[in-house]
Amino acid sequence: NRDTMSRKGVQQLNKIVIQYCKWGGSSKGVRDLINNGLEDLKSINPSLTVEVVQRSNKHPNVRGEYVTGIVKTISARNEDAEGVQKLVDSLKSQWGTKAKNWNKHRRITDQLCTQGPWSPFVDLKNVEVVREN
């Protein structure tokens, strides 16, 4: 089920751009990935476009462009091919938002109380026990 990287069914990541240098030592892992494993990357998720850009004399980058318009860049400096793959996976599994403090809202909901709000007149004593195992 790796095709969906989604929020309510909408795919969040549009495009991945891998920038590398042809001769720099920090780009070695990225170069290995491009030469050997790029087709695997592309085939896992066909709706995702993977671009490769050469930038000489610069350290390598992995950049993810999201549906929301946000661009997240992670440096792939001195990483193995596996490490670059992990960076791509981490971009895929994120939404296009800033990193939140999820501790503040661990549950986001639209539903208000199903059983009705409490009031001093709510009768909690006359409750029928229908079944007890």
Using CB under 8 A, list all residues that contact another protein.
Answer: 1-8, 90, 92-95, 98-103, 105-111, 114-117, 119, 121-124, 126-133
DSSP secondary structure letters along 49-81 = EEEEEE-TTS--EEEEEETTS-EEEEE-TT--H
* Complex with another protein: residue 35 or 127, whichever CB lies closer: 127
* Complex with another protein: residue 6 or 78, whichever CB lies closer: 6
Taking the complex as a whole, the smallest distance from the CB of residue 42 to another protein amounts, in Å, to 18
Tokens at 61, concatenated = 């980058």
Tokens at 65, concatenated = 């462009």
Tell me the CA end-to-end span of the chain in Å, nearest whole number: 39
* Complex with another protein: residue 15 or 22, whichever CB lies closer: 15
* Complex with another protein: residue 56 or 68, whichever CB lies closer: 68
Taking the complex as a whole, the smallest distance from the CB of residue 87 to another protein amounts, in Å, to 13
* Complex with another protein: residue 23 or 102, whichever CB lies closer: 102
Cα 96 from Cα 66, distance rounded (Å): 5
Taking the complex as a whole, the smallest distance from the CB of residue 84 to another protein amounts, in Å, to 18
Taking the complex as a whole, the smallest distance from the CB of residue 51 to another protein amounts, in Å, to 21
Taking the complex as a whole, the smallest distance from the CB of residue 89 to another protein amounts, in Å, to 9
Burial letters 35-72, b for 16+ CB under 10 A, else e? eeeeeebeeebeebeeeeeeeeeebbbbbbbbeeeeeb
